């Protein structure tokens, strides 16, 4: 059943439509994913370069801050004085003021430093600059934490060799101290709030909903994030340590985030630019949503297209095929209704007229022609070839499938002219021009069937167009050439009909002699068959075998006697040539058809 269904026009149109649209939808879907990947890659590279350059600037700033503190420890007399025990009030005051002044200067230069501090261990004295941007209450919390830290030697040693991340109250800081290696009686240090590290990166132009974050090696987010990323507390540590851009989930997997990260060489923190994919791919998401909806849109269009096409094309075609089938079965009462489509209305009207003419033709053939002359009846019956008629109907059907309506009208017009001639010829002679016009209609229809595989030509001398010949005299040879000589294996089959004045070549009488040739390049006729056809006493072995040729020979003998000849020859390099020589007749009054 499936094989049968795929042979119908509707099924093939659906398959063709699907074969075009499905790959297109797949390409659109893949293109959307590819475009998303390209956008994410390009954005990651862009922000990665910016983050790296700014992070290098932060690292250089941390190096400079460390050098400044080392310089104070090694060369500043006030610091050396500060580490001595038993300072007088005035000496302690001036040393503190000078160190604070110098550190205030450096703090104003290094904007990222939130606090410089100096601690004298012998005197248990902590001196610091103000804590930038924080309330006085929090300032005291930080000073308390610093004072307490100097009583823990392990944490002191860790902070003396590199910058460390410390947690003071609800804030994260970078913490570094420097001391005189000989005595370790005095320490100078710096605190940098992690949020203050955002200052050098303020030039980053981030999309809406994005933020710059700092995270530790364990993935903990150290800086304060703005909405909507304020709920983001951790980043995947495995991805962070790879030091590359990656995509992660947020809000329980409901949202995708692009993270562009880079690790500081001075301290174990990672700078991460976090951008929601929804912001990066706002336009692409709309495109991808469209690609998801496109199959449903296509399906709706296809269904609507099917209903419209069914009413416009399939229903009239089924009606036409049904009428053809009933006529083939012998029901000549079959008629087609009027159609709302102009082209099908013309086809239906022409078809109905053709059926009427066929009915009339059958009546004429059986009630008039068959009673007039048995031989002529047989000859005329052969002209009404049901295969030719059905082939022509198939040609019309195929042209309708292809929507070649002009060719449909032309084919129907040729077929109507062909049958009109067959039904309306009244006399036993017609002009050569009328005979060739009838043959041309037949050959034009055959060319509709075989297309480029069939060519034909008709060439008649102008002076011979009004010559009278027996009706349907050349037609049997043309039909035999199409039926028995047609060959499509090598080159297009060609049929040529020519008519010219010729020498008598044995034709008797003083009248002029006309030569009609029917030449083709088809299969040809075997030599023994040519000899049989050229024999004067030729007779077909059955009524179904070359009865048309025998009919023409009998009519030639009855009308012209020895003055006409019919010769069959082999064509060069292949094919068959039929030569008809007969006297020319120019009646004063033209016969009617």
pLDDT value of residue 518: 93
In this prediction, residues 524-550 reach a mean pLDDT of 76
Q: Judge whether 85 lies within some domain.
A: yes
Q: What is the per-residue DSSP string for 32-46?
A: HHHHHHHHHHHHHHH
Q: Are residues 116 and 212 in the same domain?
A: yes
Q: Judge whether 316 lies within some domain.
A: no
Q: Are residues 275 and 344 in the same domain?
A: no
pLDDT value of residue 579: 92
Q: How far is CA 219 from CA 7, 147, 226, 240, in A?
A: 64, 29, 18, 7
Last residue of a domain, which of 239, 260, 279? 279
Q: Are residues 373 and 466 in the same domain?
A: no
Nearest to 382 by CA among 178, 583, 192, 545: 545
For residue 380, give every residue at least 6 positions away whose Cβ sits within 8 Å of its Cβ, in sequence order, or none.
365, 369, 422, 472
Within 10 angstroms of residue 486's Cβ, the number of other Cβ atoms is 16
* pLDDT for 592 beyond 60: no
Q: Are residues 241 and 371 in the same domain?
A: no
Query: What rounded mean pLDDT belongs to the chain?
Result: 77
Which tokens is 437 given?
């016009």
Last residue of a domain, which of 346, 380, 414? 380
Q: Are residues 256 and 138 in the same domain?
A: yes
Q: Judge whether 15 lies within some domain.
A: no
Within 10 angstroms of residue 462's Cβ, the number of other Cβ atoms is 7
In b/e form, how buried is each residue of 148-177, taking b as 16+ CB within 10 angstroms? Answer: ebbeeeebbeebbeebbbbebeebbbbbbb
pLDDT value of residue 578: 93
Q: Are residues 368 and 438 in the same domain?
A: no
Q: Judge whether 354 lies within some domain.
A: yes
| Of residues 149 and 154, more confidently modeled | 149
In this prediction, residues 193-209 reach a mean pLDDT of 72
Which tokens is 153 given?
């030697």
CA distance 530 to 541: 15
pLDDT value of residue 2: 42
Which tokens is 406 given?
């002009």
pLDDT value of residue 136: 63
Task: State the distance between the two ends of the chain, measured CA to CA, in whole angstroms.
Answer: 51
Which tokens is 188 given?
């100078």
Q: Are residues 376 and 440 in the same domain?
A: no
| 442-501: pLDDT as tens digits | 888 888 888 888 899 999 988 888 888 887 778 888 888 888 887 766 778 899 999 998
Contact between 425 and 472 under an 8 Å Cβ cutoff? The reply is yes
| Of residues 375 and 88, more confidently modeled | 88
Within 10 angstroms of residue 215's Cβ, the number of other Cβ atoms is 27
| Of residues 251 and 438, more confidently modeled | 438
Percentage of the chain modeled with pLDDT above 90:
4
pLDDT value of residue 541: 65
CA distance 141 to 166: 14
DSSP three-state, residue 169: coil
Q: Judge whether 177 lies within some domain.
A: yes
* pLDDT for 276 beyond 60: yes
* pLDDT for 208 beyond 50: yes
Residue labelled with tokens 């261990």: 121
pLDDT value of residue 378: 45
| Of residues 542 and 320, more confidently modeled | 320
pLDDT value of residue 291: 64
- How many domains, the chain? 3
* pLDDT for 577 beyond 90: yes
Q: Judge whether 292 lies within some domain.
A: no
pLDDT value of residue 546: 61
Q: Are residues 230 and 369 in the same domain?
A: no
| 16-63: pLDDT as tens digits | 767 777 777 777 667 767 777 776 777 777 777 777 777 788 888 888
Pairing between strand 493-502 and 454-460?
parallel
pLDDT value of residue 200: 60
In this prediction, residues 230-254 reach a mean pLDDT of 78
What CATH number is given to the structural domain containing 538?
A: 3.30.565.10
* pLDDT for 183 beyond 60: yes
Q: Give just the sign of the alpha carbon dihedral 296, 297, 298, 302.
A: positive
In this prediction, residues 186-197 reach a mean pLDDT of 85
Q: Collect contacts of 179-185 with beta carbons under 8 A, ≥24 apart.
A: 179/73, 180/73, 180/80, 180/83, 183/83, 184/121, 185/83, 185/84, 185/85, 185/120, 185/121, 185/122
- The residue range of the domain holding 221 is 43-279
- Least confident range from 134-138, 190-194, 239-243, 566-570: namely 134-138
HSE-CB of 297 using CA atoms within 13 angstroms: 8
* pLDDT for 385 beyond 50: yes
Contact between 78 and 97 under an 8 Å Cβ cutoff? The reply is no
pLDDT value of residue 357: 82
**Kind and range of the H or E element at 73?**
helix 9-75
CA distance 482 to 442: 10
Distance of CA 459 to the CA centre of its chain: 50
Single pTM value for the model: 0.45
Nearest to 100 by CA among 72, 70, 124: 72
* pLDDT for 369 beyond 60: no
Q: Give just the sign of the alpha carbon dihedral 549, 551, 556, 561.
A: positive
- Considering only the C-alpha atoms of the chain, give the largest distance between any 2 of them, rounded to a whole number of Å: 163
CA distance 336 to 334: 7
Q: Are residues 274 and 352 in the same domain?
A: no
CA distance 542 to 548: 12
Which of 254-268, 410-424, 431-445 is most confident? 431-445
> Which backbone phi and psi does 586 adopt, to 5 degrees?
-120, 85
Q: Judge whether 450 lies within some domain.
A: yes
Residue 211 banded pLDDT, cuts 50, 70, 90: confident
Q: Are residues 110 and 254 in the same domain?
A: yes
Q: Are residues 216 and 364 in the same domain?
A: no
Q: Could you say which DSSP state residue 562 is in?
A: G
Q: Judge whether 385 lies within some domain.
A: no
Q: What is the per-residue DSSP string for 315-346?
A: HHHHHHHHHHHHHHTT-TT--PPP-SSHHHHH
pLDDT value of residue 516: 92
Q: Are residues 351 and 436 in the same domain?
A: no
pLDDT value of residue 181: 67
Contact between 507 and 582 under an 8 Å Cβ cutoff? The reply is yes
In this prediction, residues 248-260 reach a mean pLDDT of 77
In this prediction, residues 409-417 reach a mean pLDDT of 81
Last residue of a domain, which of 320, 350, 380? 380
């Amino acid at each position: 059943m499936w094989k049968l269904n795929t042979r119908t026009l509707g099924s093939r149109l659906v398959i063709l439509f699907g074969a075009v649209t499905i790959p297109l939808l797949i390409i659109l879907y893949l293109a959307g994913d590819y475009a998303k990947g390209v956008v994410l890659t390009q954005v990651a590279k862009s922000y990665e370069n910016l983050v790296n350059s700014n992070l290098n600037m932060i690292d250089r700033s941390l190096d400079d801050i460390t050098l400044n503190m080392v310089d104070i420890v090694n060369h500043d007399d006030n610091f050396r004085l500060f580490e001595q025990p038993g300072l007088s009030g005035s000496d302690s005051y001036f040393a503190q003021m000078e160190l604070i002044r110098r550190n205030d200067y450096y703090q104003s230069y290094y904007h990222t430093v939130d606090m410089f501090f100096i601690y004298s261990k012998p005197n248990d004295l902590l001196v610091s600059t103000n804590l930038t941007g924080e309330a006085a209450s929090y300032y005291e919390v930080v000073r308390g934490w610093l004072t307490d830290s100097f009583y823990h030697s392990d944490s002191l040693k860790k902070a003396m060799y590199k910058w460390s991340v410390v947690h003071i109250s609800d804030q994260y800081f970078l913490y570094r101290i420097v001391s005189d290696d000989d005595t370790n009686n005095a320490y100078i240090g710096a605190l940098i709030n992690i949020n203050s590290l955002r200052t050098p990166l303020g030039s980053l132009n981030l999309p809406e909903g994005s933020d710059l974050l700092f995270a530790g090696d364990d993935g903990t987010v150290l800086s304060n994030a703005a909405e909507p990323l304020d709920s983001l507390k951790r980043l995947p540590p495995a991805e962070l340590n790879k030091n590359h851009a990656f995509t992660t989930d947020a809000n329980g997997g409901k949202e995708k985030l692009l993270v562009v990260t880079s690790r500081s060489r001075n301290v174990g923190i990672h700078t991460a630019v976090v951008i929601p994919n929804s912001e990066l791919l706002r336009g692409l998401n709309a495109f991808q949503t469209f690609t998801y909806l496109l199959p449903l849109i296509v399906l709706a269009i296809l269904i609507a297209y099917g209903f419209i096409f069914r009413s416009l094309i399939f229903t009239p075609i089924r009606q036409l095929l049904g009428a053809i089938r009933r006529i083939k079965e012998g029901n000549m009462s079959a008629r087609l209704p009027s159609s709302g489509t102009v082209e099908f209305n013309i086809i239906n009207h022409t078809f109905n007229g053709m059926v009427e003419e066929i009915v009339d033709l059958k009546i004429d053939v059986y009630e008039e022609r068959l009673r007039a002359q048995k031989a002529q009846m047989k000859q005329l019956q052969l002209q009404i070839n049901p295969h030719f008629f059905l082939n022509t109907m198939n040609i019309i059907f195929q042209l309708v499938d292809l929507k070649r309506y002009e060719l449909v009208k032309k084919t129907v017009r040729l077929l109507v002219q062909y049958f009109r001639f067959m039904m309306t010829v009244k006399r036993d002679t017609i002009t050569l021009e009328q005979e060739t016009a009838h043959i041309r209609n037949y050959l034009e229809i055959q060319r509709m069937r075989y297309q480029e595989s069939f060519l034909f030509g008709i060439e008649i001398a102008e002076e011979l167009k009004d010559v009278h010949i027996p009706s349907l005299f050349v037609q049997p040879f043309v039909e035999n050439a199409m039926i028995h000589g047609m060959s499509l294996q090598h080159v297009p089959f060609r049929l040529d009909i020519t008519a010219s004045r010729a020498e008598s070549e044995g034709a008797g009488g003083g009248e002029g002699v006309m030569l009609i040739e029917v030449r083709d390049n088809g299969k040809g006729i075997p030599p023994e068959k040519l000899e049989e056809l050229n024999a004067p006493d030729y007779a077909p072995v059955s009524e179904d075998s070359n009865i048309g040729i025998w009919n023409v020979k009998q009519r030639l003998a009855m009308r012209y006697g020895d003055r006409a000849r019919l010769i069959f020859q082999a064509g060069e390099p292949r094919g068959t040539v039929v030569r008809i020589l007969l006297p020319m007749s120019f009646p004063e009054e033209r016969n009617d058809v």
